[in-house]
Amino acid sequence: MELKLAGREPLEKSLKRTTDYMNTFGAREGWLVVFDRGPKKSRENKLFREDKTLPGGKVIHVVGCREPVDKSPVRRAGF
């Protein structure tokens, strides 16, 4: 699983890095999660899911996320 902030590097570079990780560990599936904190897009336009099929049948699941609506601090139980 690769986590990225949108706009820091091109998506193709992130996909290649995720592919390299998958090859290193012999994984057939991988996840790339892109967090978009930019104010220019609506929240609805920041959410997406797309599957990229690589040569050899490997798949990277690409998921776009937005900031949570509830910005209250996370509570940690028992730590």
- Classify strands 2-5 and 29-35 as parallel, antiparallel or unpaired: parallel
Within-domain flag for 42: yes
CA-based R_g, the chain, Å: 15
pLDDT for 9 beyond 70: yes
Averaged confidence pLDDT in the chain: 81
pLDDT for res 35 = 86
Within-domain flag for 25: yes
Please give the structure tokens belonging to residue 37.
């904190």
Cα 38 to Cα 8, 15, 43, 60, 70, distances in angstroms: 11, 21, 10, 24, 17
Within-domain flag for 78: no
Q: Which tens digits make up the pLDDT trace of 40-78?
A: 767 676 788 899 999 889 999 999 886 555 554 544 445
Within-domain flag for 71: no
pLDDT for res 55 = 87
Q: Residue 17's domain spans which residues?
A: 2-65
Helix (H) or strand (E) holding 20: helix 11-25
Number of domains in the chain: 1
Within-domain flag for 76: no
Name the residue with tokens 């139980």: 77
